[in-house]
Amino acid sequence: KDNLSWSEAAGDVHRVGELRETIRLSEEKDPELVYARAISAMNKAEKIEDLDKRKFVIDQHRSEANLARSCIPRFNLEGLWVGNYGNGAELVNITYSDAHTLVATKVTGDAYIPRGERSFSANLAPSDEADPIELSESAASKWGNKKLQRFKGKGSVALEGYKDEKNVEGQLVMFDDYFSFTWVPMKYTVFFSRPSAKLTIDLLRDVVSKEDEVDNMREHISRCFSKDAVIDRDVITGRFRSDSVNNGD
């Protein structure tokens, strides 16, 4: 685009035409740009008064958006991811509650945010993208990008036992093969990557084993209480004493 500006300033009409065509073709291959434009066009189409025309235009741009979306990493994060929350590896399951809202649910929890509760969420809409993170030359060569996308989110925090749970400001940052989420007030960041099959099985086995142990303890205690209740009832009705006398005979 800088070359285009220079060519326009120099009055080189032929060069301007070539550069504009090159830019157009390049933008058509950029899924991020195609998606953002399609979403913008869908929003504008909502103002069309003719219902049939409105539906036609929206459906047309929705198809463009869905095709571009399939090529954008942040919209294809569904499934299991693993991250170190500071007390060991934990699994989260990524889903989308709507077109742009990513939700991470704990699959293996901890003493603060248990299994089955939301760990964090993020708004991935192009219009809500935060300023990208500028990388140094060495970091840029490592990641293959000069900037990293980041999106506003909300992270769950709680006291031990999932008490006083609340949401705090958060940020999701996209890398090549993984992403990170930062709980901004705590300046705490967790990096997430795809778990291996072995790690997934090991983590799930640990959770199931612990839950089975707790369930067994609860069942045992429940049985103990049940036996105590029967004995108390028998004593009150005199059955226990009667049985003891009969057994003695």
Amino acid at 23: I
Distances (CA, A) of 111 to 139, 158, 168, 181, 185: 36, 9, 18, 19, 20
DSSP E strands: which ranges in the chain? 79-84, 89-96, 101-106, 118-123, 129-134, 147-159, 163-174, 179-183, 188-193
For the chain, percent of residues with pLDDT exceeding 70: 71
101-110, long-range: CB within 8 Å, 24+ apart, which pairs? 102/74, 102/77, 102/153, 102/172, 104/181, 107/80, 107/203, 107/204, 107/207, 108/203, 108/204, 108/206, 108/207, 110/85
Distance between CA 195 and CA 147 in Å, rounded? 26
Best CA proximity match to 39, nearest among 86, 100, 88: 100
Distance between CA 31 and CA 177 in Å, rounded? 17
How far separated are the first and last CA of the chain, in Å rounded? 107
85 Cβ contact list (under 8 Å, min separation 6): 110, 190
What is the Cα Rg of the chain in Å?
A: 29
Is it the case that residue 245 has pLDDT exceeding 50? no
Number of residues in the chain? 249
| Other beta carbons within 10 Å of 144 | 8
The model's confidence at residue 5, banded by pLDDT at 50, 70 and 90, is low
Is it the case that residue 134 has pLDDT exceeding 70? yes
Q: What pLDDT digit, counting tens, does each position of 56-92 carry?
A: 999 999 998 998 899 899 999 999 999 999 888 999 9
Strand partners, 214: none
The model's confidence at residue 207, banded by pLDDT at 50, 70 and 90, is confident
Is it the case that residue 15 has pLDDT exceeding 90? no
Strand partners, 118: 105
Best CA proximity match to 167, nearest among 151, 147, 179, 183: 183
The model's confidence at residue 230, banded by pLDDT at 50, 70 and 90, is very low
Best CA proximity match to 120, nearest among 150, 152, 88: 152
Q: What pLDDT digit, counting tens, does each position of 150-203 carry?
A: 999 999 999 999 999 999 999 999 987 789 999 999 999 999 999 999 999 999
